């Protein structure tokens, strides 16, 4: 029986026939295998990034003025090689090399998320790898080598931190919630929403700004309750969305819509109740 769903229709059949235990078993085995490959690729990239971090690298700038280094490019090449070896018919969308291949299976790769931290000697950077099937995010790996932790999840399998299961907090009221703000510069262009964010901040228990992968890791393991960002792309948050959801949380764009390849804003919460309250506070009329 074929377990590489790039070469058979079993996964799509599973989506249509979820009541069939045999089909469900095939899907789970495929996702477990894909997760194993993704974790290995993230680890290999992390080792390479760590070596570059230790000796230092030259920094270049892309046309959008964001930094890039040899570590970014070599890490993505390493990940692509390992993914292509395991799933040659899958497509890949990477931060540095763009998109290759055409398939319902699309790997989303940010080899070094947090390059600005990397070049300034701050260990808040990570490797992000996610798998999307027909527009649905189904697994994610978030590997932070210098920070010293890795989180992963696949659809229906729960979320894990270095092999131990994690769960979001059960916070349901804003007055008890800890909020972390990431990149929110673009919100300043919308006076109404910026003021709404200020009112939200006044209503929560505590505000932090961990940023990058870190606040999503904290959210997934119950250490904070809300994350808001308005300046991201899907490669930054795809894997983290799977992890937060499998830990029991809610992860959408800032307007409550499902994540897509065009997503640039994120709202993640520990509970549906918090998500609803935040959305209500941030909705401008």
Can you say whether residue 18 is alpha, beta or left, with left for phi > 0 and alpha for psi between -120 and 50 degrees?
Answer: alpha
- Work out the angle at residue 56's Cα, subtended by the Cα atoms of residues 54 and 59, and round it to the nearest 5 degrees: 145
| pLDDT tens profile 203-221 | 999 999 998 899 999 999 9
Determine the Cα–Cα distance for residues 257 and 266; give it in Å rounded to an integer.
10
pLDDT value at residue 19: 52
- Work out the angle at residue 210's Cα, subtended by the Cα atoms of residues 271 and 155, and round it to the nearest 5 degrees: 45
Closest CA to 107 of 269, 234, 192, 283: 234
Closest CA to 216 of 185, 195, 247, 194: 247
For each of the domains in the chain, give its residue range(s) and CATH number, in order of start: 38-157 (3.30.540.10), 174-282 (3.40.190.80)
Q: Please identify every stretch of the chain with a pLDDT value under 70, giving residue numbers as ranges.
A: 1-26, 65, 284-285
Contact assessment for residue 217 and residue 142, using Cβ atoms and an 8 Å cutoff: yes
């Amino acid at each position: 029986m074929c377990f590489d769903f790039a070469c058979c229709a079993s996964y799509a059949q599973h989506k249509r026939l979820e009541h069939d235990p045999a089909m469900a078993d095939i899907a789970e085995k495929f996702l477990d295998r894909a997760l194993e490959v993704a974790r290995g690729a993230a680890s290999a990239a992390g080792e390479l990034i760590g070596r570059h971090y230790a000796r230092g690298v030259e920094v270049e700038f892309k046309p959008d003025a964001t930094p890039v280094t040899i570590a970014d490019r070599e890490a993505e090449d390493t990940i692509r090689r390992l993914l292509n070896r395991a799933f040659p018919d899958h497509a890949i969308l990477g931060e540095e090399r763009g998109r290759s291949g055409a398939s319902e299976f699309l790997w989303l790769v940010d080899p070094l998320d947090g390059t600005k931290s990397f070049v300034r000697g701050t260990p808040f950077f990570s490797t992000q790898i996610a798998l999307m099937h027909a527009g649905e995010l189904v697994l994610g790996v978030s590997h932070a080598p210098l920070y010293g932790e890795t989180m992963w999840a696949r659809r229906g399998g729960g979320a894990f931190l270095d092999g131990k299961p994690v769960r979001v907090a059960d916070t349901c009221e804003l007055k008890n919630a800890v909020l972390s703000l990431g990149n929110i510069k673009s919100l300043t262009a919308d006076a109404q929403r910026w003021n709404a964010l200020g009112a939200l901040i006044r209503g929560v228990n505590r505000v932090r700004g961990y940023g990058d992968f870190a606040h999503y890791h904290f959210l997934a393991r119950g250490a904070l309750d809300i994350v808001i960002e308005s300046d991201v792309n899907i490669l930054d948050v795809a894997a983290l969305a799977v992890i937060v959801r499998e830990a029991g949380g809610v992860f959408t764009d800032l307007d409550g819509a499902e994540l897509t390849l065009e997503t640039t804003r994120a709202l993640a919460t520990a509970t549906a109740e918090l998500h609803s309250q935040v959305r209500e506070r941030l909705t401008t009329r």
